[in-house]
Chains A and B, each alone.
Chain A
Amino acid sequence: MVPAPGAWWRFALQAELGSATEMRLGRLTLAFATMAALAAPASAQAPVKVGEINSYKVIPAFLEPYRKGWELAVEEINKGGGINGRPLEVISRDDNGAPGDAVRAAEELVSREGVVLLTGGFLSHVGLAIGDFAKQRKMPFIASEPLTDKIVWENGNAYTFRLRASTYMQTSMLVEEALKLNKKRWAIVYPNYEYGQSAIASFKKLMTERQPGVEFVVEQAPPLNRIDAGSVAQAVADAKPDAIFNVTFGADLQKFVREGTTRGIFKDVTVLSVLGGEPEYLDPLRDEAPVGWIVTGYPWYAIDTPEHKAFLAAYQAKFNDYPRLGSVVGYAAMISVGEALRKAKSTDPEAIVAAMKGLQHSTPFGPITYRPLDHQSTMGAYVGKIGLKDGKGVMVDWRYEPGERHLPADDVVKKLRPQ
C-alpha cells in the first residue's frame, strides 16, 4: 500500500536538481530538457513548452501515479526525437483544487512561460474553469481526467479536448451489465456532487428507457469524503433492493464496503460500482475487496496487449512500482500532447486544435481517436467483476469496452454541444 520511499526521494532529488540548474525566482522547471539533451539530438533547438495543471495535493492517491505517467511519456517522446526535433518540456503547477488558482496558474503558464498548450485537470469544476480560460485565451487544452460530461458537451468549446471516458460513458458501460441482470428494484448510492449526480441521472434515464418497469427504491447522496457508511448501508438494506448502483469511490467506498459487509447487506444483492476496479480504490481494500461486484477499472496485471506490455515494462523499470489508472491517464494525455504537436508541425494554437481534431494514436489501452464532433477521445475502460487473488482484490472476467461504443448518437451530441 505504501509506495517505496525511494519514489519520494527521487521526487525530492528532482526538485533539488531543478533548483541547481533551472530555477529562477523560485520557478521550478523539471529538468527533462536536460535529460533529453543527453539522449537525442533534439537538444539543438529551443524546447516546446507545455503547461500542466493539477490538484496534486488534494487527490494525491490518483495524481502521484499520474505525474509519473506523464514523466515517462515525456522521456519517451524526447528519446524518440522530441517534437519534430525540438525537445518537449513540461512545466507543472498545483492548483490546490481551486478553479480560481487554476486559472491564475494557467495565465502564468501562458503569458510568462510561453507554453503552447495546456493539459491536466482532475476535479470537474477545475477542468471546466481551465476549459473556459482556454476558450477565452484561444489556447488548446487537453483535459485528461475531469469526468464531467459538460466539459465536451454543454460547456464544450473549440479549444478543449478530453481524454478519459466520461461519467456518461462509464455509466453506459455498467448499464449494459445492469440490463443483463434484469433486476427490478435498484438502490442508488452516490457522492453528492456533479459527478455522482450526472452518473445517476444517466443511469436512471438509460435504465428506464431500456428496461421498462425498473424501480429505484432508495437514493442515498452522502457528501463527498464524509459518508456515514453505517447509516447509509442500513438505509439501503431497509429498502430491500435487488441490486445496488454505487458511484462512491475512495475512502467513502472503503467505508461503505466495510460497513455493508459487516452488516451483510451485499449477501443477496448484486452491486455495480463505477470506478470500483481502479487500483487506486480497489487496492486499499486488500482481502476485503467485495467479491462479485461489477465494476469499471484497470486490471494492469492481466492485460496482455503489446502496447500495454510495453508500457508496463517501461513504467516498472523507471519507477519500480506498478502503474495505477492515474499512471495510464497521465501517460496517455502526454502522448496525446506529443502527437498533436508533431502533427501540427507548428505551435500556432489553431494549428494544434486542427491537429487534435481526429487525432489518432496508440495508448496502453489501445488506439484512440479524438472525435472531431465533440473533442471527446474514444479511450475506453475495462469492465469486469471483482475477485480475490492472493489476498488482494483483482478484476476477473473483464473485457475492454471501447469508448466509441458508449457515446450517444451524433445528432444527440450535436444538440447538447453549443455550435
Chain B
Amino acid sequence: MIASFLIQTLNGLASASLLFLVALGLTLIFGVTRVVNFAHGSFFMLGAYMAVSFHELVGGGLLGFWGGAVIAALAVGVVGALIEITILRRIYRAPELLQLITTFGVVLVLKDVVLYTWGPEDILGPRAPGLAGAMWIFGKPIPQYDLLLLVLGPLVGLVVWLLLTRTDWGTRVRAATEDRDMAAALGINQALMFTGVFALGALLAGLAGALALPREPANHNMDLTIIADVFVVTVVGGLGSLPGAYVAAVIISVVKAWCIGIGDVRLFGTVFSFSKLTLVAEFIVMAIVLIIRPWGLFGTPQAAQRVAAASILPMPVPDMKRWWPLGLLMLALVALPLIVDRFTVVLVTDIIIFALFAASLGLIMGIGGMASFGHAAYFGAGAYAAAVAFKAGASFVVAIPTGVAFAAALAVLFGWFCVRLSGVSLAMLTLAFAQITWAIAFQWDSVTGGSNGLVGIWPPELLSSKSAYYFATLLLAGAAILLIWRSVHAPLGFLLRAGRDSRIRAEAVGIDVRIVQWRAIILAGSAAGLAGALYVFSKGSLSPDLLSIPRSVDALAMVLIGGVQTLVGPVVGAVVFITLQDWIVRATPYWHAVLGITLILITIIFPQGIVGTLRQWRQRRESAP
C-alpha cells in the first residue's frame, strides 16, 4: 500500500518534469511578451515528430535519440523565432488576448502541416537507449527513463534559471518581465529580445516533445491535450514564476497519479471513482488555488501595461439620426427567408445565435474589462437546462426560459468568485469553472446523457419549419442583442467602464465595482444561456462539446475579430467567423490550414478588430488634411 503510494508519487514526478518543461517556455514567453501562446502545445507536438524523423534518419542509437532531442529542440526554436518575426511582432500593440487568436491560427496551420508531413497514423517513438527497462524500487518496477526524467526536468529548469540570473541577457529579460517599457527606454532592443525569448520558449516545448517520445507516441492530439494542462500549470504556479511552474506541475501530476492509485472508493454505500476524477482534476486544483491565491502560488500581481490601459476610448453613442443602416439591416433580415434558400436560413439562424453569444462576451470583455476563457459554460448550461427541461416534459415556451434562468443562476455562482479576480487570473478561473461544468455534463449520464448527450429536442409544430424558427431566433436573440447594446450606454455600462478604467476612483465615488461586474456577468451569462437554448432547438441534439474549450475559443475569436472595444464588433465577428468557417470547411480538405492563415491575416490586418480598425482608418482619414 505504502509502496504503491510512493511509486505513484514517482510516476507523478516523472510526468511533472515534461509538463514543467512545456510550462516553463510558456511562462517565459508570457512574462516578457504578454502573449498567451496557444500554439505552445503545437511546438511540443512538432518536437516529438521531428525527433522521431531524426531518429529514423540516423537509424537509432544514442545519437538518434539524444541527438534527435537536441536537433528537434533547436529546430522548434527556429520555428518559434520565425513565427515571432513574421507574425507576432506585428501585433504586440493590439489589445491583450488578440495574440491568443493569432496563435490559435498558428495551431490550426501546424495541425495541417503535421498531418501533411507525417501522415495520419500515430508514430511510436524510440525508447531511450540503455534506459528501456525498469528498476525495482520498494519491490515494484519503475521505468529507468522515468527516473531520468525526474532529474532532467528540474535540471533543465536550473539551467534556464542560471541563464536568467547569471547572464547579461537573463538580466535584461528579467528587466523586461518587470517593466518592458522601462527596459525599452533603457536601450534594450525589444524586438531582438522578444524573438530570443520566444525561440527559447519554443525550444523548451520542442525538447519536452522529443523527451516525451519514450512515453507517448507522436500523435495529432498532443497539441491540444497538453496545452490546457500547461495553461493550468502556469497559472497555478503564478505567471512568470519559474519555481512556481515546477511546483504546480508536481502538484497537478502527483494529484492525478494519486487519483489513479486510489481508484474506486466505497463511501456510504456508493462507489466513487477517483480514476474518473482525472478528467478534470487539474481544473479543480486551479479553481481552488485561484480562489485562495488569485496570482497563483508563487505569482505577484502583474504590473499594469501602460500602453494598453490608456488606449481604451469610450464607445461612441450611436447617432440615432443615422438609424437607417440598422433599419435597413432589420428589413433585410426579416425578408431573408423569402429571398434565399433553406440552407442559408439555417446558416443565418446559426449566425444570429452566435452573434448573441459573442455580444454577451463582448459586454464583459469590452467595457467590463473581464476576459473569459470559459464563456461556453453559460452557452452550454442554457442549452442543457433547456434540453433537460424539454425531455422532462416541459414545452418549448417553458424550456427556453428555463435555459436562461439556469445560465443566470450559474453566472450568479461563478460570477461571485470571478469578480474577486482580474486579468488573466479571472479568465483562467472562468476556464476552470467551464471545464468543471463540462465534466459534470460529461459524467452525469442519467440527466445529461453523458458523452453522447441528448437527442430529439426539436421545436413545436408551429416553429418546425426552418423559416419559422429563424423568425423566433431573430426575435429573441435580436431583442437580447439590442438589450446588451442598450446596456452599454445605460448606467450599468457607465459604471462598468468606470470600474475598468480606474477601480480606485470608481470606488471613491461610491461605486461598488464588484457588484457592478457581477451584474454584468449575470446579464452576459443569461444572454449566452438564451443563445445556447436557441441553439439546441435548432439542432435537435446536444453534447458536452457545447461546453468545451473550443467553443469558448470560438466566442473569443468572434469578439476579437470584430473588435473588442466596439459595440457592433462582436456581432460582426460572429458573422465573419461563422461564414468563413462554413465556407472554408466545404471548400478544401486543408481547411484547418486555410482557416488558420485567415485568422492570422485578419488579426494582423485588423489588430483592433474589423470594426475597430475600420473606425481607426476612417478617423485617420478624417483628421488628415
Contacts and interface: CB of A to CB of B under 8 A. Distances in A.
A61 B591 contact: no
Interface in A146-163: 148, 150, 155
B275 A3 contact: no
Secondary structure call for the A interface? helix
Of listed A218, A229, A251, residue having the most chain B CB within 10 A: A251
Contacts of B586: 26-28, 93, 108
Given A111-B341, A228-B260, A230-B11, A193 B134 contact: no
A401 interface: no
B275 A222 contact: yes
Given A27-B587, A99-B453, A231-B8, A125 B121 contact: no
Contacts of A11: 589
Contact of B141 (A93, A100, A264): A264
A101 B278 CA distance: 28
Contacts of A131: 455
Given A28-B586, A286-B124, A234 B8 contact: yes
Nearest to B342: A111
A61 B541 contact: no
A221 B588 CA distance: 37
B487 interface: no
Interface string A225-254: 110111110110111000000000011001
A222 B257 CA distance: 11
Interface in A260-304: 262-264, 280, 283-286, 288
A259 B586 CA distance: 41
B589 A56 contact: yes
Contacts of B119: 1-3
Contact of A193 (B12, B278, B451, B539): B451
Nearest to A127: B452
B541 A15 contact: no
B417 interface: no
A99 B123 contact: no
Nearest to B442: A193
A254 B452 contact: no
B541 A128 contact: yes
A306 interface: no
B285 to A, nearest CB: 15
Contact of B343 (A64, A94, A112): A112
Interface string B100-124: 0000000000010001101111111
Interface string B245-282: 00000000100110011011000000001011011000
B261 A235 contact: yes
Nearest to B353: A100
Given A155-B455, A231-B12, A284 B120 contact: no
Interface stretch (B63-71, B216-224, B397-405, B599-607): B216-224
A231 B257 contact: yes
Contacts of B592: 57
Contacts of B133: 262
Given A3-B119, A26-B586, A284-B123, A108 B346 contact: yes
A136 B540 contact: yes
A136 B343 contact: no
A133 B466 CA distance: 13
B122 A228 contact: no
Contacts of A264: 134, 141
Contact of B219 (A148, A237, A251, A259): A251
A328 B118 CA distance: 23
Contacts of B453: 99, 125, 128-129
Contacts of A98: 545
B507 interface: no
B62 interface: no
Contacts of B273: 219, 221
Contacts of A96: 585
Nearest to B132: A262
Contact of B456 (A99, A132, A239): A132
A99 B121 contact: no
A28 B341 CA distance: 19
A196 to B, nearest CB: 9
B86 interface: no
A360 interface: no
Contacts of B253: 228
Given A221-B273, A230-B215, A60 B539 contact: no
A280 B260 contact: no
A218 B263 contact: yes
A3 B452 CA distance: 32
Contacts, number: 230
B535 A263 contact: no
Interface in B4-25: 4, 7-8, 11-12, 14-15
Given A128-B453, A228-B257, A28 B350 contact: no
Interface residues of A, number: 80
A262 B263 contact: no
A104 B278 contact: no
Contacts of A357: none
Interface string B218-232: 011100010000000
Nearest to B144: A262
Given A1-B119, A103-B539, A231-B260, A255 B216 contact: yes
A108 B587 CA distance: 14
Nearest to B445: A197
Nearest to A63: B120
B60 interface: no
A109 to B, nearest CB: 9
Nearest to A3: B119
Nearest to A251: B219
A225 B221 contact: yes
Nearest to B264: A219
B263 A219 contact: yes
A204 interface: no
Interface string A122-146: 0011001101110110000000000
A220 interface: yes
Interface in A43-95: 56-57, 60-61, 63-64, 93-94
A362 interface: no
A101 B146 CA distance: 41
Contact of A28 (B14, B220, B587): B587
A192 interface: yes
Interface string B118-138: 111111100100001110000
Nearest to B453: A125
A263 B257 contact: no
Given A155-B455, A234-B140, A283-B121, A104 B346 contact: yes
B425 interface: no
A100 B539 contact: yes
B512 interface: no
B227 to A, nearest CB: 12
A254 B124 contact: yes
Contacts of A26: 583-584, 586-587
A323 interface: no
A230 B14 contact: yes
A104 B347 contact: yes
Contacts of B478: none
B120 A61 contact: yes
B217 A284 contact: yes
Contacts of A229: 215-216
Given A225-B221, A235-B260, A250-B219, A193 B450 contact: yes
Rank and list the top 6 A-B pairs by shortest CB-CB distance, nearest first.
Answer: A60-B120, A193-B451, A26-B587, A132-B455, A111-B342, A231-B260
Interface of B: 4, 7-8, 11-12, 14-15, 111, 115-116, 118-124, 127, 132-134, 140-143, 146, 214-217, 219-221, 225, 253, 256-257, 260-261, 263-264, 273, 275-276, 278-279, 341-343, 346-347, 350, 442, 445, 450-453, 455-456, 458, 466, 535, 539-543, 545-546, 582-592
Given A96-B585, A104-B350, 5 more contacts: A3-B121, A56-B589, A100-B546, A107-B342, A131-B455
9 contacts: A2-B119, A27-B586, A96-B585, A103-B539, A131-B455, A225-B221, A228-B256, A229-B216, A284-B123
